[in-house]
C-alpha cells in the first residue's frame, strides 16, 4: 500500500506547491502550517524574519474555500495560488508593521498594501511574514536595530549579504518559496551569491 502523500517545504517550488494542492489534495492551510513549523524551528538560528503575518492561516483558509472552482493554474489571479512568500520589511502591508528594520519605526503601520504586495495577493500568494534587512536598506550586512544580525543559513559564521539578506536567508532556508527584495546597488545580487549551499543547518 502506497504511503499517504506528505508535503515537504524543503526546496519546494511553485510547481511542487501546486502539485501538492491539485494532485494530492493538500490544503493551503496544511502548506502554511508546514512552513510555520519550519520557521519556528529554523528562524531562531538565523534571525531572518522580523515578524509573522497574523492572518496567514485565515488567508489560506479563504483560498481553500475556492478550491472546487479551481480548474487550472493560469496567468491571472491563481498563478501563485497557495504559494507562501516573505516580504522584505520595506514593503508596506496593511496587516503588519513596515519598519525598515529600524527600532524607531517599530510601530509604523501602513494603511494599504504596496502595489506589488497587492499584486502578489491577487495572484493567490500567501504572505507569511516580513524579512529582516540591513537597517533602512543602507548597507550590506543585514543587521538592524530592530532584531539584530541575520545569519547565513549555510554557514552561521558568514553574512547573508544585504541589504535583502533576510529575504535571501529565508529562501535559502526554505522558510518560504520566494521572497521580495529591493536593490539600489548590490542588495539582491549580494544575498543571491552569499546564501550558497554548504549546509551546517539541520533540515
Cα–Cα nearest to 150, from 136, 163, 165, 172: 165
Cell, residue 12: 519546494
Cell, residue 116: 506589488
Cell, residue 19: 502539485
Q: Are strands 49-52 and 126-131 parallel, antiparallel or unpaired?
A: antiparallel
The alpha carbon torsion through 124, 37, 179, 90 (nearest 10 deg) reads: 100
Catalytic residue among 88, 130, 144, 164: 88
Q: Would you say 166 and 201 are in contact if contact means Cβ atoms under 8 Å apart?
A: no
Catalytic residue among 144, 167, 174, 187: 187
Q: What is the C-alpha to C-alpha distance for residues 9 and 6, in angstroms, rounded to an integer?
A: 10
What DSSP designation does 152 have? B
Catalytic residue among 163, 164, 174, 190: 163
3-state DSSP call for residue 130? strand
187 in active site: yes
Cell, residue 117: 504586495
Q: What is the C-alpha to C-alpha distance for residues 47 and 132, in angstroms, rounded to an integer?
A: 8
Cα–Cα nearest to 194, from 150, 160, 164, 154: 160
Active site residues: 88, 163, 187
Amino acid at each position: 500500500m502506497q504511503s499517504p502523500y506528505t508535503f515537504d517545504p524543503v526546496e519546494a517550488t511553485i510547481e511542487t506547491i501546486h502539485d501538492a494542492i491539485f494532485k494530492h489534495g493538500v490544503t493551503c492551510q496544511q502548506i502554511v502550517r508546514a512552513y510555520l513549523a519550519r520557521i519556528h524551528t529554523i528562524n531562531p538560528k538565523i534571525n531572518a524574519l522580523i515578524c509573522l503575518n497574523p492572518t496567514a492561516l485565515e488567508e489560506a483558509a479563504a483560498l481553500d474555500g475556492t478550491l472546487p472552482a479551481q480548474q487550472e493554474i493560469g496567468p491571472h489571479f491563481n498563478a501563485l495560488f497557495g504559494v507562501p512568500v516573505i516580504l522584505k520589511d520595506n514593503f508596506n502591508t496593511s496587516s503588519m508593521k513596515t519598519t525598515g528594520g529600524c527600532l524607531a519605526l517599530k510601530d509604523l503601520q501602513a494603511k494599504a498594501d504596496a502595489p506589488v504586495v497587492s499584486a502578489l495577493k491577487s495572484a493567490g500568494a500567501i504572505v507569511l511574514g516580513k524579512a529582516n534587512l540591513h537597517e533602512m536598506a543602507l548597507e550590506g550586512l543585514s543587521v538592524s536595530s530592530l532584531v539584530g544580525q541575520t545569519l547565513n543559513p549555510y554557514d552561521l559564521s558568514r553574512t547573508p549579504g544585504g541589504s535583502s539578506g533576510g529575504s535571501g536567508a529565508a529562501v535559502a532556508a526554505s522558510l518560504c518559496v520566494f521572497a521580495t527584495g529591493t536593490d539600489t546597488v548590490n542588495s539582491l545580487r549580494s544575498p543571491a551569491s552569499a546564501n550558497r549551499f554548504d549546509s551546517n543547518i539541520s533540515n
